[in-house]
Structure formats: C-alpha cells, structure tokens
A and B are shown apart, each in its own frame.
Chain A
C-alpha cells in the first residue's frame, strides 16, 4: 500500500512523527546525562512541555535589522531539518524522497539549522548574539567538511550517492569495522555540528546568555529548538544506517540510534568543554586529514580488489 506523499510529509514518517521522535530522543539524552551525573533527571514529558511552553509564550521582538528574517529563520530551520528527514530511512522504512545525490542534499539540509541560527544571531542587533553567531558558524563549517567526507566513505565503497542504493548495496554490512576512522570522524563531526558538549564552545549550553539565541524568546526559540533536535535524530539515523549496518527494521533502528546517543551523552559527561580554538583549530586540520587518509585507504582497496 502506497501512502500518499502528503501523509508522509505531515504525519509519518515525516512531520509530526519526526517531532515526536525528536522529543523522545531529547528525553533519552537528558535522562542519560542526568544519570551519569548522579541525578534523577527530567520526566518523560519534559521536552514536550518545554516546547509547548515556548510556543505559547509571549514573543518579544527586539530591535532587529530585518523583521521578516526574525520570524522566518526559525521556520526555515525546522523546515530544513524536517525535509532532511524525508530522505533518511527512519524506523527502517524506505525514505519518502529518494533521488541520486540525496546524501549530499541531506547533509546540507542538516546544516541549514545551524546556519539559520547564525543568521538569526547576526540579525538581532545584539553584540553578543553576533559574536555567538559568528563562532557558531565557524564551528559548523569546521565540522561540516570532515563530517561530509566521512559520510561519503560508504558512498565511495558502494559507488553511489543515493542513500537507498547505498543501503541496498551494503545490505547489512557493518562499515564501521572497515572504516573505523571514518566512523569516529563522523561521530565527532555530528557532535560538533549539533554543538553538543564537549564541543559546545559557541553556546556553552543554554545557561550562557550570549550566543545567537540571546534575543529569541517564545515561538522563535521553540522552533529553533525543534529544528535542533530533529537534526539530531536525522544525524543519528544517517550514521546508524550508513555505518552500523543499516536500519532494516524498527528494532534495529531504535537499538542502533539509541546506542549511539548514549555514547554521545557519555562523551558529554566525561570531558571538560574544549576552548573554541581547540575545537576549531585542531579538528579542521586533523579531522580532515584523518578522513582523507581513510578515503585513500578505501579507494586503494577498491582499486586493488576491482
């Protein structure tokens, strides 16, 4: 039975379902971090309550350069990450939208969230949101390149730019064992793009006022937040699908993505925050070099075994 595309888009597996999944994953993340820190942590409906509260809160529009942008950018962020979700095998189902090159497009759409946040920071005439925005953008670019290259590792091996084709060719093979460096780079890259600790130098968690989101409140903040957590789920799904042997059924999907989430939450707790110069300077060089080495190894292997 083919599901009409509009249902795909709005409800399942895109749209509302993605939002619900993203909220659930945020809960798992916060709960795991809390347990690591010897605390009880939030209740299961906490992320939903947070988002709902933000959406109904008064929105204060500060003095901005472009009022239209102020309102549009959060919507753009959420739209970007939800669109990216359409090409990724959520729950092991075939992606609703599949075309050659959709791997690249998905990764770019994922960056749309952080780039919108950066632009939003510039837009609000607050010096600190401007600084936060610049740093945020710098970091996302530095982590984007190695991340993209790492995700293209499986693409090189299977010879396709299309996610569904890659998965079909791989057919359950665990690339993580043959390309461990690529996997590591991809995980670190994802953490950097999401600004998860220890790479949260640009925003240092929501406790710190400065950063692109300083002047946002209410609906705008809520939408940006949703965009961020959807990006997290999509990123995890991509990683699990490409490196951890595909997600052919819901059980595999949940198992692999949640395992990855727990690993990332553990990294969050174990390490002290890196200074921005450490996150950016080191990774831009070494991350890219590592993944290029991986690529060379993969290409050589293909050439030799072809």
Chain B
C-alpha cells in the first residue's frame, strides 16, 4: 500500500526536475576544427535577432557549469582528446548537439588526413543539426527539439 502513496510524490518530483532541466539548458561551445561558419551562426543565436536566452540557454565558460555541449567541426586529430576531456568534465545529465555537416559526417573534409571524422565517433551525440552552415533558426530549432525530447511522454491517464 505504501508504494501506491509514494508514486504521486515521485511523479511530481520528476516532473519538477525535468521542468528545471528543460528550461535551463546551460551550454558550452566547442570547435573541433570547423571552418568557423557554424560557429559564427551559433554566436549569432545570442544576438538580438535570434536571442537564445529566451530559451534559457546561457553560454558558459567552464564545462563544469554546462548541460549542453554544442559541437562543430570534423574533429581534427589535435582536437580529439580535448573534446573527450571537455565531455568528461561536464557533470550529468549532459547532452551533445552536433552542429553542421562536418560534425555529422565529416562534411567537405571527409577523408582528409588530419580529420577523425564525425563527432559521434568520439563522444555520444544526442542531436544533429545539418547544414553548411545551418541557419541560426535551425540551430535554435534543433536545441528546442532536443529539449522537447527530454520531456516525458504525455501521461495517458
């Protein structure tokens, strides 16, 4: 009988936790060797026309403060270990967003000798935003979709 009573508390608490996580995704950005196109569009999302702060996304400096790792670039060999290290420094729960064709498949640099390839060869990725580069709106859309997917499925009561 006691298990029945715990359920409402548990469910409510989980809802609150998810709400907080979904509405306050602090991000850091890491460029693993991209041409900068995607990075400029990511920076543009902070600017008045797109304003990512509306969604609660704040760009942090330290991986320890972040929930979201926004990654660009085809992962050059020099950057690979740094990427892993940054990912490991982030506390849970954490999510990775791969922005741009290079991050998804290597893009134009697929096969180049100093390029490892796509980001999910190195760290797990939760959202892919294609484009070369993707527009700021596309980046925001991708981040919002990722946040939306974190919501629990609607209760079918």
Contacts and interface: CB of A to CB of B under 8 A. Distances in A.
Q: Do chains A and B touch in the complex (CB under 8 A)?
A: yes
Interface of A: 30, 34, 37-43, 45-46, 49-50, 52-54, 56-60, 206-210, 213-218, 221
26 contacts: A30-B53, A39-B51, A42-B53, A42-B54, A43-B23, A43-B54, A45-B23, A46-B23, A46-B56, A49-B20, A49-B23, A49-B56, A50-B56, A50-B58, A52-B19, A53-B20, A53-B23, A53-B67, A56-B17, A59-B91, A206-B61, A207-B59, A208-B61, A209-B60, A213-B65, A221-B64
Interface in B4-48: 16-17, 19-21, 23-24, 26, 47-48
Interface in B88-126: 89, 91-93
**Shortest 7 CB-CB contacts between residues of A and residues of B:** A209-B61, A52-B20, A49-B23, A58-B91, A53-B24, A209-B62, A49-B24
A151 B48 CA distance: 38
A38 B53 CA distance: 12
B54 A40 contact: yes
Nearest to A207: B61
Contact of B92 (A37, A41, A58): A58
A207 B19 contact: no
B83 to A, nearest CB: 16
B51 A41 contact: yes
B143 to A, nearest CB: 15
A217 B65 contact: yes
Given A40-B54, A43-B56, A49-B56, 13 more contacts: A34-B53, A40-B51, A45-B23, A46-B56, A49-B20, A50-B26, A50-B56, A58-B93, A60-B64, A206-B65, A207-B59, A215-B62, A217-B65
Contacts of A57: 67, 91-93
Contacts of A56: 17, 20-21
Contacts of B54: 40-43
Main secondary structure of the interface of A (DSSP, over half): loop
A301 to B, nearest CB: 48
A42 B64 contact: no
Among B20, B47, B64, which residue has the most Cβ atoms of chain A within 10 A? B64
Given A57-B91, A214-B64, A52 B56 contact: no
A221 B65 contact: yes
Contacts of B59: 207
Nearest to B23: A49
A306 to B, nearest CB: 54
Contact of A39 (B48, B64, B93): B48
Contacts of A214: 62, 64
Contacts of B62: 209, 213-215
